[in-house]
Chains A and B, each alone.
Chain A
């Protein structure tokens, strides 16, 4: 292992990790928004919304995220969407992970006992009130862990934007592998940084999950 080299290049990786972190945070936020909308659509009373939700989930989970990203970034200009690579990355990955989050959220909501809905409705709560005050507070707790799994996948998924030349961790690793021919060293540095981000996120999720249980 060439530690000298690792010491010389690691500042570039720190910078790249910062980009990966930004990508992860923004993608998570967009994913949660898409997931919430998606879950609402999937559980809507209106057939048209349910169908839109189902198509969203099916198409975005049924095709590779990489292809979705390429359609947006390389194909976008043809239909008048011109985005820089970073923005395309956030939107592409966010909408993609949103489809997975839709299913996570929907799963948590329908896992709440049907008896809860019936009890709420019999005391006179409206459909909306039942959702807002009875179902969602319970479902939100159930969601934390599985959403954590989605976020974990998403952080690793940000590596895909290397393919559209966003200078994040994997792209940086790839570039330095190409110039130094030291794949193990580059893997160790970038891998360690990914692990730190993922580990910290995991701890955060676990903390949220514990807190939600006490409430």
Chain B
């Protein structure tokens, strides 16, 4: 055994700053994936065929390939077509789009599960289809889908570690920075794991509270 956890305090601020960035990237990507998920779901269900088909292809491609590969594509692909995004933005974009596709699948199922009578009732009151979707169907669909989307967001937190490979200085990369100085991978990766675990617990607690609120509102 060659372990020495006393090296940690000297780099604690570096790692914790990384944790702040991890939270920032998770929240930003989660928001993007949520809004994107709703838009994608509506496109997948209601857009004209010429839009729907290419979109389905895109969704299919995103669901069938690894996130890491997609991150490489977005980061280097954008550079190739002349768009040089900061790593953080590319990371948010990659994570957000990836999870938007997954969220969209959930939201689509949920939209279809909202009772047909709801659309009918809204239409008989004179609401247009867009209004009925926006005010009646989608709010219900989204409410039903919040628990599984919560699970996706917790998965997103853990997958945010992947953006370290495109150079976003979040928790994982910060740990690597400390490792580069100290040559103590075990200690710092365990520390990073512990920090992820705590953030994860926090997110689970928030998810439980939201679920309780939803259950209470029914």
Direct contact of A and B (CB under 8 A): yes
A63-B200, A64-B196 known; A187+B72 contact, CB < 8 A:
yes
Q: What is the distance, in angstroms, from B175's C-beta to the closest C-beta of chain A?
A: 8
Residues 61-114 of B at the A interface (beta carbon under 8 Å)? 61, 64-70, 72-73, 76-77, 80
Please name the residue on chain B nearest to A198 by beta carbon: B64
Determine the distance from Cα of A64 to Cα of B196 in the docked complex, in whole angstroms: 7
Instruction: Say whether B190 contacts A195, CB under 8 Å.
Output: no
B32 within 8 A of A: no
Q: Which of A74, A159, A163, A183 contacts B189 (CB 8 A)?
A: A74
Shortest Cβ gap from A187 to chain B (Å): 4
B159: interface (CB < 8 Å) = yes
A162 on the B face (CB < 8 A): yes
Q: Could you say which residues of chain B place their CB within 8 Å of the CB of A76?
A: 186
In the complex, whether B51 has a CB less than 8 A from a CB of chain A is no
B161 with A71: CB separation less than 8 A = no
Q: B65: which A residues are within 8 A, CB to CB?
A: 156, 187, 190-191, 194-195
> Closest chain B residue to A20 by CB distance?
B66
Contact residues in A for B76 (Cβ distance below 8 Å): 177, 181, 183
Residue numbers in B under 8 Å from A124 (CB-CB)? none
Q: Which residues of B contact A131 (CB under 8 A)?
A: none
* Known contacts A65-B158, A66-B161, A173-B72; A74/B185 CB under 8 A: yes
Closest to A96 in B: B158
* Binary contact track A175-209/B, C-beta < 8 Å → 1, others 0: 00100011110010011001100110000000000
- B2 contacts the other chain (CB 8 A): yes
Q: Is A21 an interface residue (CB 8 A)?
A: no
User: Contacts A78-B186, A79-B1, A80-B1: A156 and B66 contacting too (C-beta < 8 A)?
Assistant: yes
Are B72 and A79 interface neighbours, CB within 8 A?
no
Interface set, chain B 164-208, CB cutoff 8 A to A: 164-165, 172, 175, 179, 184-187, 189-190, 192-193, 196-197, 200-201
| Interface: A54 (CB within 8 A) | no
Task: Flag if A67 contacts B192 (CB, 8 Å).
Answer: yes
A62→B185 contact, CB < 8 A: no
Choice from B66, B158, B161, B179 contacting A159 with Cβ under 8 Å: B66
**Majority secondary structure of chain B interface residues (helix, strand, loop or mixed):** helix
Q: Is the interface of A mostly helix, strand, loop or mixed?
A: helix
Cβ–Cβ contact B179 & A191, under 8 A:
no
Residues of A within 8 A of B187 (CB): 75
User: Is the C-beta of B3 less than 8 angstroms from some C-beta in chain A?
Assistant: yes
Contact B196 A62 (CB under 8 A): yes
Determine if A59 is an interface residue (Cβ-Cβ < 8 Å): yes
Q: How close is B63's CB to chain A, nearest CB, in angstroms?
A: 9
Q: B72–A174 contact, CB under 8 A? A: yes
Determine whether A102 belongs to the interface, using a CB cutoff of 8 Å to chain B: no
Contacts of A174 in B (CB 8 A): 72
B134 CB → nearest A CB, Å: 31
Residues of the B chain whose Cβ atoms lie less than 8 Å from the Cβ of A170: 66, 68-69, 72
In the complex formed, the residue of B with least CB distance to A79 is B1
Q: Are A157 and B66 also in contact (CB < 8 A) when A65-B158, A78-B1 are? A: yes
Known: A70-B185, A71-B190, A198-B64. A63 touches B196 (CB 8 A): yes
| Chain B positions 109 through 145: 1 when the CB is less than 8 Å from some CB of chain A, otherwise 0 | 0000000000000000000000000000000000000
A181 with B189: CB separation less than 8 A: no
Smallest CB–CB gap between A28 and chain B, Å?
16
Given contacts A181-B80, A194-B64, contact A74 B193 (CB under 8 A): no
* B201 proximity list for chain A (CB < 8 A): 62
Known A-B contacts: A75-B190, A160-B66, A194-B66. Give 11 more (CB < 8 A): A63-B158, A66-B172, A68-B193, A71-B190, A79-B186, A158-B66, A159-B66, A160-B162, A169-B69, A183-B72, A194-B69
Q: Which 9 A/B pairs are nearest by Cβ-Cβ distance? A: A75-B186, A159-B66, A74-B185, A64-B161, A183-B76, A64-B158, A183-B77, A156-B66, A159-B68
